[in-house]
Amino acid sequence: MDFGAPKMDEELFFRLLFIAIYAVFFGVRIRYRVESTRREPERRQKAESMASKMLIIAILGYLVSIVLYMLDVPWTSWSRLAMPPWLRWLGVIGAASSILLVAWTHRALGRQYSAEFAIQKDHVLVTTGPYAKTRHPMYTALNMFSFSMALTTSNLLVLLFAILVILPFPWIAREEEQVLLETFGEEYREYMRRTGRFFPRIRQRST
């Protein structure tokens, strides 16, 4: 198997696949975001922390790196990686799987979903579906999608920004959990004991 630079027709195939997967991803996200705009939350949580600002910058960088990848600008040729095809296909599988997780998470959230972190009117704590074992499955899915798509591009610039996008989420999740503790009190504290933050907990936290 040749693990060198991909052939032109193979590279074109992965670019078209990249576009197709992103189209499906945006289709899922836009559907639920449009639905969420029809609901007025009871309380919005402003994104003023350093982690939130870092995430915004990282996302902007990630989007710019994707545009440069799609345009195939000559001066960014240094960022092309000679990844083996199987690794890029692993990225495709990971991205497709993360879209399924995003859709599942949206269905579990239902009316509790908001494009921004907010407490809805008559807000209830969702503990079903992917939330039965994990407190932030949406973040897990979105980070998995970003990293998997970066693998699909075989591009160093996209890969670096995908990692930068992932880094602030532990702090963002911790901030949101503090608000949820204030909102749901002992109910959320008990929920935290039996679930993992981004992945299912192997052993339940002792009381």
Q: What is the DSSP string of 137-153?
A: HHHHHHHHHHHHHHHHH
Residue 107 within a domain: yes
Residue 135 within a domain: yes
Which portions of the chain are predicted below pLDDT 50? Answer: 1-6, 207
Stated pTM of the model: 0.85
Domain span at residue 79 reads: 8-35+48-114+123-194
Residue 48's pLDDT is 66
* C-alpha span between 72 and 11 (Å, rounded): 11
Residue 3's pLDDT is 45
Residues 6 or more apart whose Cβ sits within 8 Å of residue 202:
196
Q: How far is CA 55 from CA 47, 173, 195, 198, in A?
A: 10, 12, 25, 17
Residue 115's pLDDT is 65
| Closest to 33 measured CA to CA, from 96, 97, 101, 102 | 102
Residue 91 within a domain: yes
Residue 106 within a domain: yes
Q: Contact at 8 Å (CB) between 158 and 169?
A: no
Residue 26 within a domain: yes
* C-alpha span between 155 and 88 (Å, rounded): 10
Residue 129 within a domain: yes
User: What tokens does 124 get?
Assistant: 């209830």
Total number of domains constituting the chain? 1
Q: Is 30 exposed, middle or buried (0-12, 13-18, 19+ CB in 10 A)?
A: exposed
Alpha helices by DSSP H, 72-168? 85-109, 137-153, 156-166
Residue 97 within a domain: yes
Residue 4's pLDDT is 47
Q: Which residue in this structure is represented by tokens 């095809």?
A: 85
Residue 70 within a domain: yes
Give the CATH number of the domain where residue 185 resides: 1.20.120.1630
